Every structure is written in C-alpha cells, then in structure tokens.
Chain A
Amino acid sequence: MNKAKMIFNQTLMISTGILFGVGVQTMLQYFSYGKSSFQWQWYIPLSIILAGFLCALATLFLTDDDVSGKSVGYIRTGLHFVAVLAIVSLCGYLFEWYTSLDEYIPIVIMYVVIYAFVWISTTWIMKSDEKKINKAIDDIRDEE
C-alpha cells in the first residue's frame, strides 16, 4: 500500500473514531443530564478531519514497520500513544472541543478507550490471520 493511500485510510478511520467518541459522549450526556441535543460550530467537522490527518501522519512516522525488535516496537507504540494524544489535545484546545478541565478529562478517557479498543482488535485480527496463514502454509510447505 502506498503512503498516500495509507494516510487517506488512517485519516478516515481516525476521524470516524473521533466522531464515534462524540456520539458516545452525547449519549452519556443525555443519560447523565438529560441533555438531548448537541450543537457544534461549522468548522468542527473540518477540525476533526484535520486532527485525523495529523494523527495519520504520526501513525505513519511512528509505526514504520521496517524496524525490528520487540522493545523498539513497544517504545514506538508508547510514543505513538503520547503523540496522538498530544495532537488530539492540541486540536481540541485550538478548535475549542473543550474549554475546561472537566470537559477535557472525558476526551482523554474516550481517547484511551478507543486506542485500547483499536490495539486489542488489531491484535485479535492479526492472531486470527496468523492461524489461517499457518494452516495454508502447512498445505504447501516443502519437505526438509
């Protein structure tokens, strides 16, 4: 997959993730305070796409898969987690997704939940692929 396509796909996925977060937050607000509507400024959807794009760039540079070593992988994942949180926080501050600490904390919690969900589901999919690939390789492997 070329880099432009990867950035495009990542931008779409991350933007969708943020919109999902907004949806969940709206639902929680309804059940907590009975607030049944949610309004935002005209530029908020654009700011979400911009945040998605910046996070996609961080993903591209910090998860380059040509590096080897498990410890390097963990360090890069940690750096990626922090970098994407920083981007989301900065975009949130600049575009006023939050205006106080009380509004910021739910965003951080949502971010951690979505990051963990994506990480676990990716690992689960890869493990499933591992089994399928090993089964297919068993059928064609040369005798040694």
Chain B
Amino acid sequence: MKVELKQADSYDDEGAVIKAVSVTDDIRNAIDILKNNGFSIPAILDNTTVMIKAGSIYYIESVDKRTYVYTKDGCFETKYRLYELEDILGINFFRCSKAMIVNIRKIRAVKAEMNARLNAELLNGERLIISRGYVKELKRKLGV
C-alpha cells in the first residue's frame, strides 16, 4: 500500500484518510491505532478534571477499587474501572496482571524472570511485572 505523509499546519488539522478496497484486519488495526492514540479519557488531578490522551498513558493500576492512570509526568485518578478501560483503549494496551493495564508502546524492554513471568522496563524507567498468565496475551498482541 502507498503511504503518503503530508505536513499539517496545526494539531486541529491532523487526520488520516485510508483508501482501501476492503477493510482487512491490518487496516482495522491501523484505524484502531490512529483512533486510540488520539482518544482521551477524563481523569482527576487536585479536584480538576483533565483529559489524558491514550497515547500518553504508560500504565493504569487499580488499587482498593480506585483506578489510577500513570503518564510520564504524573498520576491521575479516573472513574473508569479497569475492565472498562481495557475495552476502550484498544490494541496498544493489555492486561499485564490482575490489577494493571500497560501501554505496550511504552515498554522499553522485557526480561524473563522466575515462574515464567516477565519484568517490563517502561520508557520512564519504572518496572512492572507481567504475570505468567498474561504473557501469552502479550505475545498474541505482538504477533510473536
């Protein structure tokens, strides 16, 4: 497929047009990636609601029935439950343990650990555990 990139004058002008004979899985994945990185979720910081772009999220954690969204710069609370975000956020995100969803695009590298689990280092230097039961899903998402 031919790919053409044009310079936009502002963020408001950013957009993508896909011309295709039929919507294949690859094209659906591309649409998901384009849409989800632009998709925002409302979250709260210091009693102020802010919109966080999915593409800027590193990981999301559920602690004591509260859900926290972590970005490069901070931690925000959101009213969404983890399973709702798992559905909303799409293909770049995956459940890495019972209480956590991680953005695959923010993982710098993984390291195999004991008990068939993985230790993931994120781009901000934080480390997360990918539980044994979720490694298969990560491999499926990455096509490994």
CB within 8 A of B144: which of A63, A68, A136? A136
Closest Cβ neighbor of A6 among chain B residues: B133
A142 at the interface (CB under 8 A from B): yes
Q: Is B123 in the interface zone, CB < 8 Å from A?
A: yes
- The number of residues on chain A lying at the interface, defined by a beta carbon within 8 Å of a beta carbon of chain B, is 26
Would you give the 0/1 interface string for A124-143, flagging 1 where the beta carbon is closer than 8 Å to chain B? 00110110111011001110
Main secondary structure of the interface of A (DSSP, over half): helix
A65 within 8 A of B: yes
Assembly CA distance A126 to B114 (angstroms)? 9
Complex Cα–Cα for A77 and B116 (A): 12
Given contacts A65-B133, A134-B110, A141-B107, 15 further A-B contacts (CB under 8 A): A65-B117, A65-B129, A68-B129, A70-B113, A73-B115, A76-B115, A129-B144, A132-B142, A132-B144, A133-B139, A136-B143, A137-B110, A140-B105, A140-B142, A142-B106
Partner of B111, one of A73, A76, A130: A130
Q: Closest residue of chain A to B137, judged by CB?
A: A1
A: residues with CB less than 8 A from B are 1, 6, 63, 65-66, 68, 70, 73-74, 76-77, 122-123, 126-127, 129-130, 132-134, 136-137, 140-142, 144
**Inter-chain contacts of B138 with A (CB < 8 A):** 133
**Interface readout for B40-72 with A: 1 if CB under 8 Å, 0 if not?**
000000000000000100000000000000001
What A residues does B82 contact at CB under 8 A?
Answer: none
A136 and B142 contact, Cβ closer than 8 Å, known pairs A65-B117, A66-B97: yes
User: How far, in angstroms, from A77 to B113 measured CA to CA in the complex?
Assistant: 12
How many residues belonging to B are interface residues under a CB distance threshold of 8 Å? 33
| B129 cross-chain contacts in A, Cβ below 8 A | 65-66, 68
Partner of A130, one of B112, B132, B143: B112
A126 to B139, CA, bound (A): 12
How far, in angstroms, from A138 to B124 measured CA to CA in the complex? Answer: 16
